[in-house]
Amino acid sequence: MTACAIETAAEDDGRDGEHPGRGARATEFTAGLTITANGAYAARLAGGGDALYAERWTLDGPEPYAVPLPLDQPEEPGTQLLPLADGRVLVARRVDGRRNTFSLLYPTGPATGELPLGAVEAPGSERLVLLPPSPDGIGAYAMCVGPETTTLWLVAGGAFGPERVAEVRGRCTGGVWLDRTGRMLALDRRLDGGPVKAVAVDLERGGEVTPLLQITEDSDDRLLLADPDSGLLLLRSDAPGHDRLGWGVLGSLLPVRFPECLRLDDAAVTPFAVQPGQVLMPETCAVALRIDAAGGSWVGTWQPMSRRMGQLAAPVGWLAGTGLWTAGGVLRLPYVTAGAPCGLADVEAPPEPEPAPDAVVAGPAAGGGAAAEGPRVCRPVPLQQAPLTDGKPAG
């Protein structure tokens, strides 16, 4: 129900693992909500002070409701949670500064059941983060980020506890699923001190890596969201001269576009959900954006074919940066208030806009020629080479 970008991995700027609401105790904990790929369940850390606990939300019923999953010991603010499609919640805890333990929590009458899954060692110089919920809803993955290599682990859904599934050369951040089976994963990789480039990792072929985004040779090109139904990609790149939000289509040779309406001088704009079900119609997908400024956070809505971004006030208590689209074009925003500890506010998709004029970034085409006149076209290269089928990838 939602195309979800990883929330636990920060940009590769020396602030890995820092998040609003994490790393310091507060009167009331306000960490975000992680939603399953099918939109049925979600999980977050609830409570406050020294009494944090996991909380599971059920979203696919007539009304959303929350089930607390407390244990004898409270959770630490850095505990990571991931909901599974069967309603259990994966918990990842850092122990003794290097050991990461994994358990599944589930309600058992008035109590909370816990199934230990094992542990992964990560030296002090490395950092382990959970990847977004797998599209199949069964497996759960984590990546251990070291200074020169990144290791991918299947931490739930395997046969014998955590299993190492791939090792990727370079320092990786991000994490976006490219298909509906949980096979193809996009990571933003910095290799040998060079620029950041999004790559596709095939988890069924031993972690085989192929290029995914290369707008210019020296630009930092990060993938933020992907919708497998339409092929729509939301990305961030400094190819235009500074960081801009752009969009492209998976497997397409059309240029990446950087809409001017997504650029705000006094606010940061970050996409967090894409409307599913728009098969082969990427221009019509509704995109939800988080807008952060000095005055707070609110919501933007936009479609690739639009020349305008709609802006609307977020519901009181919005868990900022989280939400999901329904296939019918309704944006559901989770919120928490004293009177509504588990709420969803529904927002209709914007009306179909007038088509916007194409806007492409100037610069050398990656793997292709230049336009005969005017600025040279930059392409999301080589999107078509990512091995999204069983065939041998090009190159």
The residue behind tokens 């020169």 is 148
CA distance 238 to 215: 9
Q: Which residue has the tokens 């007539």?
A: 62
Half-sphere exposure of 222 (CA within 13 A, CB side): 23
pLDDT tens figures, 209-247:
999 999 999 999 999 999 999 999 999 999 999 999 999
Residue-wise pLDDT tens digits, 167-205: 999 999 999 999 999 999 999 999 999 999 999 999 999
Q: What is the mean pLDDT of the chain?
A: 83
pLDDT at 103 over 90: yes
Q: For residue range 322-369, list pLDDT tens digits in order.
A: 999 998 889 999 999 999 999 999 987 656 555 544 445 433 223 222
Question: Which residue(s) pair with 141 in the sheet?
Answer: 154
Residue 355: what pLDDT? 53
What is the Cα–Cα distance from 273 to 285, expressed in whole angstroms?
10
12 has a pLDDT exceeding 80 = no
Tokens of 384: 């078509």
Phi, psi of 70 (to 5 degrees): -80, 155
Q: How confident is the model at residue 96 (pLDDT cuts 50, 70, 90)?
A: confident
| SS3 of residue 259 by DSSP | coil
Distance of CA 205 to the CA centre of its chain: 23
pLDDT at res. 354: 55
Q: Would you say how long the chain is, in residues?
A: 395
Mean pLDDT of 371-391: 37
What distance in Å separates the CA atoms of residue 374 and residue 360, rounded to the nearest whole number?
A: 11
- pLDDT exceeds cutoff 60 at 10: no
163 pLDDT band (50/70/90 cuts)? very high
Contact 119, 128 (CB under 8 A): no
Residue 264 has pLDDT above 50, yes or no: yes
How far is it, in rounded angstroms, from Cα 236 to Cα 214? 12
**DSSP 8-state code for residue 185:** E
Percent of the chain with pLDDT strictly greater than 70: 80
Q: Count how many Cα atoms sit within 13 Å of the Cα of residue 12 in the half-sphere of its side chain.
A: 25
Q: Give 341's Cβ-side CA count (13 Å radius).
A: 13
| Omega cis (within 30) before 162 | no
The yes-or-no verdict on residue 21 having pLDDT over 90 is no
pLDDT at 31: 65
